[in-house]
Each structure stands twice: as C-alpha cells, then as structure tokens.
Structure 1
Amino acid sequence: MEGPAGPARTIDDVKVPADHPNPVVRSLLSFWTPTAESMRGWALASVVVNAGIAVTGAGVRVTGSGLGCPTWPRCTPDSFVPVAHPETSMLNMAVEFGNRLLTFLVLAVGVACVVSAMRMAPRRVSLVRLAWLQPAGVLAQALWGGLVVRTALNPFTVGMHFLISIGLVAACWMLYARSGEGDAPPVRLAHRDIRRLGHVLVGAVSVLLVLGVVVTGTGPHSGDLRASRFDFDMEAVARLHADVVYLVVGLTFALLLALHVTDAPRAARRAALALLGVELAQGVIGYTQYFLAVPAALVLLHVFGSTLVWIATLRTVTSLRTRQPVPSPAQVPAPV
C-alpha cells in the first residue's frame, strides 16, 4: 500500500523563470515574467541584432556572396540548405545562407519583445504596438530579401533592404526609449528650438543614409558579377554624399553647443558629444576608403559606422524629452 499522499502543490511551489538559479537562463526567460528592466533589456537586444544583421548583410555583399543562394526561399533550386551547385562556390553559399539564418535570431528577439510587452503588468499599449513592429518588420525584410535575390541584386532592391533595417533599428530604439519612460505626454528637457534642431538633424541623417545607399549602388562591391549598378557618376554622388556629411556634422556641433549654452541635462550633452565623435570617426573611415579605392574591409566598417551614427542620432534626440508615468486614479486629486 502507498503511504499518505503529500500536500498538493500550490502555485508557490512552481519555480517561475524570474527565480531560476542560473542567471543566463533567468535572463533568457525573463520575457515570460517581465519587469521594466528586463523589458528594456530585450528592447536593447533588438537594437543590437537588427543593427548587426544590417552589417552582416553588407558582409554578404563585399564578399561577393549576394547570390550565394541563387534562389529564394530555397538556397538552391532543390534544397533549403547549401548543397554543391555548379555556378556557386560553397564559401559564398555558406556566407549567404548564414545571413539568412540570422533572420531567425532577429525574429526570436522580436517575439520575445512582443511577449514581454504583452505580459507586462500593467500592460502598456504603447510598448505593445512598438514591439509588434519587430516581427512584422522581420517578415517584411524576409520577403524583400527574396525580391533582392529574384532581381539579381538590383541596386534599388539591395539599397531598400538596408533602409528597411534602418527603419527597424529606429522602431527598436523607440521601444528601448519608451520602456524606460511612462505614458504621460512628453516633457521637454531642452528648449523647444533645440528639440526642433534635433528633429532637423534626424532628417539630415536620414538623407545621408539614403545617399550612402546611392553611392554604394553606384560603386563596386555589388555582391555578384551578375548584379547591375546605378548609372550615376561616381564622383558626383560621392561629393554629394560628402556635402551632406558636412551638413550633419555642422548640425550636430550646433546642437551640442546649444545644449551646453543652455545648461541642458548632462545625459543630452553626453549623447550629442558621443554622436559628434562617431560622426568624425565615420568621416575618417569614409575618406580613407575613398582614397584607397574602396577596399572591402573598410566598406564593411563604414556600414557598421553608419548604423552607429543612426543609433547615436536617435539616442541624442530621445534624450531631449521624457515622459512621466500616468498617475493612477488614486493619485489624481479630487476636484474641489
């Protein structure tokens, strides 16, 4: 005969992810029992992976692996994974297929952000909406990637592929910024005109990124010998790109000066200073690759710098305002 049954397990006996003894596992499972801190951590992870896949995509191009997997969604006409193909080297195939696999990592982080936002207590609609942009954006990127392959790396489709990633990075950064704030109306931390200058700077950097795509689509490193190029004068588009660089650096310096003169919050001043430093480093890389006839390694570094400039710009602008938590009904004073 069996002995007396033990007491029934209660919810207190169940180990939830937040209580897991292993810190790595606890971090990975934190999306199921999110806190404000873990929500922000997943949002930051989404910024990193989306910026990372934009850079690895450039790596595919500069290694000539753009058509390493010549079909989509399969890698070859007969297989979803790399197999020997008479027209493509296995190295190029592995590089392209590896970049495709990274899409699943980006999607996984995006899904974790969605789950975290939906399980937050209390749930914040603003975070849920921003979080859903990530899996939706990854799906759009995957479909557009198929178009890139099917158009044999047309420079327009390749450029848009990068710009969609830039848009996703912006959405991820806004999720990161908003997860550290409340949902009350925004409160300025700097003068109104300084905030306007920040918005102008975002627009100028956006133009700079678009022109960078045009320069890339005109120059070498198309990703494959079969790929077409924009029919622009390389010297002219490179000079136009450089002119906008000067404009962006000038706007950044003006913003930094205005923040110091008005004694703006330290976080905003440090963000603007970091942005200026990233821009100057990116300028050095750009001029070096120009005078060295655009070596592949520097192109990859320049794309990495472009994503850093974009993130630093977003960080600077979001540091110019904040949002307080919405007061609960109990905190709202009763009308007199």
Structure 2
Amino acid sequence: MPETTIPATPTTRSTPPPSALWGRALTVFAWLSFLSETIIIGTGGAVRLTGSGLGCTEWPLCTPESLVPIVEVQGIHGMIEFGNRLMTGVVGIIALVVVLLVLRLFSGRRALITTLWYAVGGIAAAAVAYAIASPFHIPAFPVASAVLLLAVIAAAVHAVRTTPARRDLVLLSWLTLIGVVAQALVGGITVLTGLNPFIVGFHYTSSLLLVCITAAFLVRLKTAPGPRERAVPAWFAAVTHVTGLALAVTIVFGVLTTGSGPHSGDADVLRHGFDATVLAHVHSWPGYILAALVLFLTVAAWVLRLEPRRWLLVLVIAILVQVGVGVWQAREGLPPVLVGIHMVLASLSAATYTVVVLHLKRSIPVAP
C-alpha cells in the first residue's frame, strides 16, 4: 500500500516551531531586562536626589514593624525608597526569566531541573544561616542573602560548564541574575551603613555595569555562534580600548563628584570630605578627552567604512549630549532633574560603548 502524503495546510506552514517561539520570548525578555536595568538607575537616582535614601530605615523591612512604608510617618520619602525596592524585584524576576529561557533553548530540560535543585538548596541554606545568625545578634538577613548569592554563583558555574552551545549567552544571563542578587544585598548594606557614600557610589557603578551586560547580551543574541576575527585595524582597536579607559575614569570621578556634592541621599548624611568644586573640574578633564577620542574614532570609522561606524555615531551623539548636560547642571547649581538625566545618560553611553567594542570583531563564516 503506498504511503499517504498529507498536504501542507496554511496552518501548518504558518505555525513557527517551538524553538522559534522560545527564541522570540527570549528576545522580548532580553530587551525588558535591558530597559529595566536602565530604569532602575533612574529610580535609584530619584531616591538619592530627593533625599529619600533613608525613607525606609530598615532592610529588608521598611520599618522595624512593617514591610511597606507608613505614609503618616515616613511620607513621600518612604514611598520613593520602597518603590525603588519594588523595582529591584521586577528586575530580578525578568533576569530569572531570561536565565530560564536560555537554559531551555541551549541546555535542555535537565539543566532547568538542576537549576531548580540549586534554588531549593540555596533557599534552605539561607534559612539555616538566618537561624544560626539570629541568636548571636549578627545581622541575619544580610548573612542569609550572602549564602543565597553563593548558591546562585554555584548554579551559574555549573550551568556554564555543562552547556554544550552558546555559553556566551548562558554566562551573560547568569551574570545579570548574579548582579541583581548582589545589588539587592549591597542596597541593604547601603541602608544599614547610613548611606555610606562609597557604598552608594559602588551601588550605582554596579548598576551601570549591569546595563552594559544586558546590552552585550542583546548583541550576542543576534550574533552567529562560532569563531570570530577582528573587523578593524589593530590601531583602531587599540584606540577604542583607550577610549574605554577614558570612559571608566570619567564615570569614577563623576561618582566621586556626586558623592561630595549636595545630593548624598539624605540631609544628615556626611559626604566624602572631598572638595566637590575641584572634583567637578577633575571629572570634566577625562570627559573632554573621551569626547575627542570618540569623535576621532567616529570620523575614522566612516572614512574607512568600518563595522562599528553606526554605533560610534550613536556614541558620539550620546557623549556630546552628556557633556552638554554636565556643563548645564554645573552652571545651574546641580538641579536634581539634570543630575538624574546625567546619571542615566552615563549608563546609556557605557552600554553603547559596549556595543561598539563587540562590533570590533565579526563572525567567521563556517562551511557546512
């Protein structure tokens, strides 16, 4: 009896395979991860710039008796601080979904089950650590959070080592989740230390790095796997990395300048003790060097028609706007709105630079 062939119907032709659906979901949540990491820099800046850093005096509770702020006691400052804490939960959920989608696509169901066991073990270990620390009057919740962080790191190491393909995406997704968990812990330490300016600065810098990691994930998600080769001349790559150093120095001095200025997060918090006026000038020097380097790279890339030329154009625009906002806020006496815009633009500039660096190489076509 001859084999019966079932003709393809319009429905069967138009229905994408499950892997394509999972891939689309990963793309959507990867973009949500990038956007949420950028937004939380804005909400964290709002906490600091409105003097709401101690709007919730405790952590993880907002007050010794309540998880949420008491409006009659803490007012708008408590609401702003608690809103930023809620945003941390949103960022964490999105980062977790990205990890699970990556494992589903590239590691399979067994990896998901293993990750679940790591989660159960980490929660149990954190509960034990909390129970042990409490009778000795040790800050129990930070200890439990640190134990949970170690469990997440262990799960990430296992996932990266056992994934057969796209370890770059697995690593980047786990780094984001680890960073979010660590940021929650650092945020709690920031409150418990009374807004120590160095810890606050570290908190912001870590958030900026997470924006860069999520941007890198988006680029690698659209990049073909396999070996890569340099797509630009060696001198161009070297100048690009020097530009990255100038960007890092500019951001560090910007963080120190903000920590020494009027926006420390609370009216009663002590600053670094540095002269904010001097730091503002020191912060501007590497900023101008950065702008000149980016402008040079952009012109060279368009003349030579190099791979990262379009993203360099985006970067030069971002840097010029950032310089303009920086000069404007200095002349206007550091109004909170301009300082907040300056903070968010710094993270977007760093993310754009990350994209530029990833375009210094291209995939090598592999014969089937």
- C-alpha distance in structure 2 between counterparts of 1:291 and 1:70, whole Å: 34
Provide closer, same or farther for how the CA distance between residues 212 and 45 of structure 1 changes in structure 2, counting only shifts above 3 A.
Answer: same
- Aligned counterpart in structure 2 of residue 34 of structure 1, from 10, 14, 22: 22
Q: 1:131 touches 1:175 (CA, 8 Å); kept in 2?
A: yes
- Flag the 1:110–1:32 CA change in 2: closer, same or farther, 3 A: farther
2:324 alignment partner, one of 276, 284, 290: 284
CA deviation profile, 1:233-260 (whole Å, cap 9, x unmatched): 1221111110011110011011112212
Deviation track 1:53-110 (CA, whole Å, cap 9, x = no partner) reads 0121011111111100011110001111112564xx3210000000000011101110
Q: Given residue 189 of structure 2, which amino acid in structure 1 is its aligned partner?
A: L
What's the counterpart of residue 48 of structure 1? 35
Q: Is the 8 A contact 1:67 1:223 kept in 2?
A: yes
Aligned mates of 2:337, 2:181 — CA distance in 1 = 29
Runs of 4+ deviating beyond 4 Å: 30-33, 324-327
Structure 1 segment 147-162 matched on structure 2, within 5 A:
147-162=189-204
Aligned length: 297
- In the other structure, the counterpart of 2:338 is 298
Shift of 1:49: 0.9
- Which residue number corresponds to residue 103 of structure 1? 88
Change (3 A) 1:191 1:77: same
With structure 2 as the length reference, what TM-score do the two structures score?
Answer: 0.76
- Structure 1 residue 216 and structure 2 residue 258: aligned? yes
Q: Flag the structure with higher helix content.
A: 2
Unaligned runs of 5+ in 2: 1-13, 108-164
Q: Any stretches of 5+ residues in structure 1 without a counterpart?
A: 1-17, 21-29, 332-336
Normalising by structure 1, we get a TM-score of 0.83
Match of 2:233 in 1: 191
Give the Cα separation in 1 of the matches to 2:366 and 2:92: 31
Q: Which moved more, 1:269-278 or 1:254-263?
A: 254-263
The whole-number CA distance in structure 2 between the counterparts of 1:228 and 1:208 is: 23
AA paired with 1:293? G
Equivalent of 2:282, from 222, 240, 243? 240
Paired with 2:176 and 2:356, the residues of 1 have a C-alpha distance of 22
What is the root-mean-square deviation in Å for CA atoms of aligned residues?
2.2
User: In the superposition, relative to structure 1, how do residues 34 and 63 fare at CA in structure 2: closer, same or farther (>3 Å)?
Assistant: same
Q: Distance in 2 between matches of 1:121 and 1:33?
A: 14
The whole-number CA distance in structure 1 between the counterparts of 2:356 and 2:28 is 19
Preserved contact between residue 19 and residue 105 of structure 2 (Cα < 8 Å): no
- Is the contact between residue 33 and residue 119 of structure 1 (CA under 8 Å) also seen in structure 2? no
Counterpart of 1:108 in structure 2: which amino acid?
Answer: I
For the residue of structure 2 that corresponds to 1:225, the secondary structure is coil
Indicate if the aligned counterparts of 2:45 and 2:343 stay in contact, CA closer than 8 A.
Answer: yes
Deviations 1:261-295 (A, max 9, x none): 32213xx2121111111111111111111011111
State whether residues 126 and 183 of structure 1, in contact with CA within 8 Å, keep that contact through their aligned partners in structure 2: no
Q: 1:172 aligns with which of 190, 197, 214?
A: 214
Indicate the residue corresponding to 1:79 in structure 2: 66
